[in-house]
Amino acid sequence: MIPLFRTGVTVLLATLVTACASLRVQTDYDPATDFSALHTYAWLERPRPATGNPAIDDNSLLDARIRSAVDRVLASRGYRLLEGGRPDFRVGYYVTLEKETDVSIIDDHWGYYHGDAFHHGGIGLSWARVYQYDKGTLILDIVDPDGRRLLWRGSLGDDITAAGSPADRQRRIDGAVETLLSRFPP
């Protein structure tokens, strides 16, 4: 009973570690920027480069979800979307989609080799868990009002294989944008 319990706990821990490790957030910014002077924004209206992936290119549903999430999070932090006039900054985004493979080695000795396969009267068992998934990366850019100079960039990559319903997709995008913008301003 104990070896079965220990194996189950090992599999659960390996799954949790893998799930947490998939979320990669990175940010960078121009330290010369006075972020306290930024109060209004507008969307950067320039075509995003084509990725060649129809799941991303010309996907108006994805565009609407990302814009909605960014607008909601920025509004909750006191930034105002400016429909006309000159904003303090502009927001743009990019999305990438790549195939990834994750390999985990799991054994019944919690990753430690005891030297003797018959240690404690049992045979040590190991197996590899191979998981292939789609990794989506969202890159948010905060640029100067003219759209020429990058002020802040945040990127977040995660497993998006099980995207689910449209509501599930919106929740995942909302969470990604919330996580990214929690680091803005720096």
- For the cut 70, the answer to whether the pLDDT of residue 64 exceeds it is yes
Higher pLDDT, 77 or 129: 77
- The pTM of the full predicted model, rounded to 2 decimals, is 0.69
Average pLDDT over residues 78-91: 95
- For the cut 90, the answer to whether the pLDDT of residue 80 exceeds it is yes
Provide CB contacts within 8 A for 61, sequence distance 6+: 166
Closest CA to 20 of 181, 141, 185, 179: 179
- For the cut 80, the answer to whether the pLDDT of residue 185 exceeds it is yes
Mean pLDDT score of the chain = 78
Tell me the CA distances in angstroms from 106 to 78, 111, 121, 155, one per residue in order.
47, 7, 20, 31
Q: Are 139 and 164 spatial neighbours (Cβ–Cβ below 8 Å)?
A: no
Q: What's the chain's length in residues?
A: 186
- For the cut 70, the answer to whether the pLDDT of residue 153 exceeds it is yes
Average pLDDT over residues 117-128: 57
- pLDDT tens-digit series, residues 3-58: 443 333 333 333 333 344 456 899 999 999 999 999 999 999 876 667 777 777 77
Q: Which CATH architecture has domain 2-181?
A: 2-Layer Sandwich (3.30)
**Quick one: pLDDT at residue 68?**
96
Find the radius of gyration of the CA atoms of the chain. Answer: 22
- For the cut 80, the answer to whether the pLDDT of residue 134 exceeds it is no
Strands (E), the chain: 24-29, 40-43, 80-81, 89-107, 126-143, 150-159
